[in-house]
A and B are shown apart, each in its own frame.
Chain A
Amino acid sequence: MEGLFFNVDTGFLEGIVRGYKSGTLTQSHYASLAQCETLEDFKTQLSATDYGNFLANEPSPLSTATIADKATQTLVDQFNFIRSNSVEPLSKFLDYITYGYMIDNVVLLITGTLHERDTHELLERCHPLGIFDTMPALCVATNVEELYQSVLVETPLAPYFRDCLSAADLDDMNIEIIRNTVYKAYLEDFYNYVSTIGSTTADVMHNILAFEADRRTINITINSFDTELTKEQRAKLFPAIGRLFPTGNNALAKADDIDQVRQVCENVSEYRSFFDNSASAQTNGDLGDFGVAAQLEDRFFRMEVHLNKLAFLQQFQYGVFYSYVKLKEQEIRNITWIAECIAQDARDRIHDFIPIF
């Protein structure tokens, strides 16, 4: 039944976003990009794709940072086009997508201010999709309470900060705790919102958000080994959604090393393969714990790309918008990686990106 009324408000935008998606780089594009000798060749190859002449006005020599910035700007332009043409409930859904970036920006500004960096420099490093009006005022941060009362209460992030107002001082670890608490509240809120806007959107987005929650849970667990984070504090950062909730979360809260994490993930069939090869690699002695974590991160990215590709198989749902943004981000990471490898002449690792289509 969702197909009967979806096209009234969103049919045109769904067609637009599927058009954007058909312009994402394929394996053949990546192959020709990887064969470029210089960044100028790279720019020429990219101009034949949907990116077009996005680097046309840049002075040579090009830097990879410029390429990444301009590519992100194309994504932002596309997102803003869709956002300005949308109505409720799609516009609220698209706003939810931006909240994740807003959280990253807020944490970046707070951390930067603590380390006494220049305000303008920090504002330039913010992600463009997560910009909100009162952002510069965050640079006068002293403690969270004041931050909340003066700035955050008017932003859409206000309800997510309620749980962490009790954080004492703003130091590096507390800021990470704040970031993860706020992100947990955001994920749970997004998950609940998505359940109210229709069954197909809920089906697609629940899978994606559940995986995101599990990924964060596993990452928090692994990153908190050998730090001062207590197990109770760790357990409070796990989102209450996903396949690992509640038993997996409880087990991970008590875990002490990677083997226990692997055992917990064995119970979920989709995540079993994340730790598979790492066992054999450890017996080779090649990878230490750091190598396992890097491999895990790679596997997480692949799974995320896989789930986002699945969203395009269903019509008449909003998941395509979320998935397009995530896939485009992955593509930007890929071309930045290739550009870096070309610039630093490290061609042996140039194929270490995650292909999408």
Chain B
Amino acid sequence: MLDMGYKTYTSFGLPTFLVIIVALYLLFTDSGEAFDVGRFLEETSPFVWGSLGIGLCIGLSVLGAGWGIFLTGASILGGGVRTPRISTKNLISIIFCEVVAIYGVIMGIVYSSKLQTVPEAQLYTRDNYFTGYALFFGGLTVGFCNLLCGLCVGVAGSTAALADAADPTLFVKVLVVEVFGSVLGLFGLISERKHLFYDITH
């Protein structure tokens, strides 16, 4: 219980405290106007947003895929000790997780083709701002979609491996659950491709 107290203090209390201190400092030294969200958005280069989006896209997708693979893999290894026949069939769960990472890579490549060198003077135009924000949120969406899809397929795959080890007829039934789970990643991919086409035709 004491340990829970320390964790709550450091994760909630300390950042809140720091934020309040900084806010009050700005307020009392008459530099409250230094906190200007509009200026921040105008002055950051669209390249920042675009690159962040692409990075998050691939990074989160690979995180989701890797997480799913280790979840499933540990159970396949454990179940395969007594029931070696499950090890080949259950690789399909690993493939479903891997596909999630591939979605992330595809979207990353598609997005990075939208990044072209623009000289400083012509950088801060309305179209460029839009492209930057679109790439950021598109990449974030694909990344989160794939992260959660990877997790879902991983947990379902782990259960599928153990169910298969106990009773071979169960494998196909649990696999259906996994297929529905992997469709989540596909949703992210498709909706962000449509989103990008909007950008092109705009």
Chain A interface residues toward B at CB < 8 A: 3-4, 7-8, 11-16, 18-20, 22-23, 315
| Partner pick for A15 among B67, B70, B151, B165, CB 8 A cutoff | B165
CB neighbours (8 Å) of A8 from chain B are 70, 74
Q: Can you report 8 A-B residue pairs in the complex whose CB atoms are below 8 A from each other?
A: A4-B67, A4-B151, A7-B158, A8-B74, A12-B77, A14-B162, A15-B78, A15-B162
CB neighbours (8 Å) of B82 from chain A are 16, 19-20, 22-23
| Partner pick for B165 among A4, A7, A11, A22, CB 8 A cutoff | A22
Known: A15-B75, A22-B165. 17 other contacts (CB 8 A): A3-B71, A3-B155, A3-B158, A4-B151, A7-B70, A7-B74, A7-B75, A11-B73, A11-B158, A12-B77, A13-B78, A16-B78, A16-B81, A18-B79, A19-B81, A19-B83, A20-B82
Q: In the complex, A230→B39 CA distance in Å?
A: 82
CB neighbours (8 Å) of B70 from chain A are 7-8
Give 9 nearest A-B pairs by CB, closest first: A15-B78, A11-B74, A19-B82, A15-B79, A12-B78, A7-B74, A3-B155, A7-B71, A16-B78
Main secondary structure of the interface of A (DSSP, over half): helix
Q: Does B51 contact A (CB under 8 A)?
A: no
Determine whether the beta carbon of B78 is less than 8 Å from that of A19: yes
Q: How many B residues, CB 8 Å from partner?
A: 22
CB neighbours (8 Å) of B80 from chain A are 15
CB neighbours (8 Å) of B76 from chain A are 15
Rounded to whole Å, the gap between the CB of B149 and the closest CB of chain A is 14
CB neighbours (8 Å) of A4 from chain B are 67, 71, 151, 155
Determine whether the beta carbon of A18 is less than 8 Å from that of B158: no
CB neighbours (8 Å) of B77 from chain A are 11-12, 15
Determine whether the beta carbon of B166 is less than 8 Å from that of A18: yes
Which residue of A has the minimal Cβ distance to B74? Answer: A11
Which residue of B has the minimal Cβ distance to A196? Answer: B1
Determine whether the beta carbon of A22 is less than 8 Å from that of B78: no
CB neighbours (8 Å) of A12 from chain B are 74-75, 77-78
Which residue of B has the minimal Cβ distance to A15? Answer: B78
Of residues 55 to 90 in B, which have CB atoms within 8 Å of A's CB atoms?
A: 67, 70-71, 73-83
Determine whether the beta carbon of A15 is less than 8 Å from that of B81: yes
Q: Does B161 contact A (CB under 8 A)?
A: yes
CB neighbours (8 Å) of B112 from chain A are none
Q: In the complex, A13→B81 CA distance in Å?
A: 10
